[in-house]
Chain A
């Protein structure tokens, strides 16, 4: 593994270390950016706060769901 890749991996592990959290939070931000910049979606701007909060909670549920779905944890259940 080259040095740049190692640095990227270290930064990723330091900040998040979980792909579900990274993708879901990024997706929420992209949705908010679209609502803010696309005229056709301007009607949703009033609900941006709610969308953000729901996005955060959905991320938490999704990442924990993935942990539970891991084979070793399925055996525990």
Chain B
């Protein structure tokens, strides 16, 4: 089961860190890199404290059965939300996430402040970077804590996956120095949605005393079932909305409002 936890945490973290990276980049270019990096590091430290305190407290204080139920229930809610959003984007019911457009809109907004780029720590730059990394990272923190509490001793494995994703995004981002729009965000969100829903079903089922056939191997079967049903739903929605599926490029005027919607 541990490899599945590492992969799920890695993919979820990759998606969120790509989104956070866009705004860290905006802060770095429009304000200065010092403020941007300080803000991002402060947010990472905050997230680490949240995971360490909440994660350890949950695992040690709450009985395993209760924890599995709560974690399973929350993972189901969380997973279905991600899965629903990904299916909506694939079928054209929702705009695809466009990092380039979000980058351009935020860059214009930050530049409209009209301040010259300096080298001193700038509260706006620090806050922009801190907020974006913290908000995107909170979902990752929740996923890491959930896997830790699910009974598979997975907090270390989940943290490992998330850290690897963070380092990869930083490395690639530093190399290209542009928004990472080639990352297939919706595909990653779709896969993570499937995995979270699968783990949520599995653990909440165990908390009710359900013994799944084939033990942990049933996770794969469950994931395959959810994948097939989701694919069928996408096909059905595409048939219902044939001309909407291609209209995925948002106009610049509505980018910010769509970004808010997309991030929900």
Q: Which residues of B contact A16 (CB under 8 A)?
A: 77-78, 80-81
Report yes or no: A52 in contact with B80, Cβ–Cβ below 8 A: no
How many A-B Cβ pairs are below 8 Å? 91
Which of B50-58, B160-168, B201-209 lies at the interface with chain A?
A: B201-209
Interface members, chain A 51-77 (any B CB < 8 Å): 52-53, 56-57, 59-61, 63-64, 67-68, 73, 76-77
Q: Which residues of B contact A35 (CB under 8 A)?
A: 208
Contact code string A35-62 (vs B, CB < 8 Å = 1, else 0): 1100000000100110011001101110
Q: Which residues of A contact B76 (CB under 8 A)?
A: 25, 56
Q: Which residues of B contact A52 (CB under 8 A)?
A: 201, 204-205, 208, 210
Q: Determine the distance from Cα of A77 to Cα of B264 in the docked complex, in whole angstroms.
A: 24
Q: Which residues of A contact B229 (CB under 8 A)?
A: 57, 60
Q: Which residues of A contact B81 (CB under 8 A)?
A: 15-18, 21
Cβ of B150 to closest chain A Cβ, rounded Å: 16
Q: Which residues of B contact A64 (CB under 8 A)?
A: 84, 87-88, 233, 237
Cβ of A71 to closest chain B Cβ, rounded Å: 13
Report yes or no: A48 in contact with B210, Cβ–Cβ below 8 A: yes
Flag whether B197 is at the interface (Cβ < 8 A): yes
> Which residue of the partner chain B has the closest CB to A15?
B77
Flag whether A22 is at the interface (Cβ < 8 A): yes
Report yes or no: A21 in contact with B77, Cβ–Cβ below 8 A: yes
Report yes or no: B222 in contact with A53, Cβ–Cβ below 8 A: yes
Q: Which residues of A contact B73 (CB under 8 A)?
A: 25, 29
Q: Which residues of A contact B225 (CB under 8 A)?
A: 53
Q: Determine the distance from Cα of A73 to Cα of B95 in the docked complex, in whole angstroms.
A: 13
Cβ of A63 to closest chain B Cβ, rounded Å: 5
Q: Which residues of A contact B226 (CB under 8 A)?
A: 56-57
Q: Which residues of A contact B139 (CB under 8 A)?
A: 14
Report yes or no: A53 in contact with B201, Cβ–Cβ below 8 A: yes
Flag whether A9 is at the interface (Cβ < 8 A): no
Cβ of B131 to closest chain A Cβ, rounded Å: 14
Report yes or no: A48 in contact with B80, Cβ–Cβ below 8 A: no
Q: Determine the distance from Cα of A15 to Cα of B143 in the docked complex, in whole angstroms.
A: 11
Report yes or no: A21 in contact with B80, Cβ–Cβ below 8 A: yes
Q: Determine the distance from Cα of A21 to Cα of B193 in the docked complex, in whole angstroms.
A: 14
Report yes or no: B93 in contact with A67, Cβ–Cβ below 8 A: yes
Report yes or no: B208 in contact with A36, Cβ–Cβ below 8 A: yes
Q: Which residues of A contact B237 (CB under 8 A)?
A: 64, 68
Cβ contacts A to B, 12 pairs, < 8 Å: A14-B139, A15-B77, A21-B81, A29-B73, A48-B210, A49-B205, A53-B222, A56-B197, A60-B230, A64-B87, A76-B243, A77-B241
List the 10 shortest-distance A-B pairs measured between CB atoms, nearest first: A16-B77, A76-B244, A49-B210, A32-B208, A21-B80, A48-B210, A15-B77, A25-B76, A52-B205, A76-B241
15 further interface pairs, Cβ-Cβ under 8 Å (given A29-B69, A61-B233): A17-B264, A18-B84, A21-B77, A21-B80, A25-B77, A29-B204, A35-B208, A45-B209, A48-B205, A48-B208, A53-B222, A56-B200, A76-B241, A76-B244, A77-B244
Instruction: Give chain A's interface residues, CB within 8 Å of chain B.
Output: 13-18, 21-22, 25, 29, 32-33, 35-36, 45, 48-49, 52-53, 56-57, 59-61, 63-64, 67-68, 73, 76-77
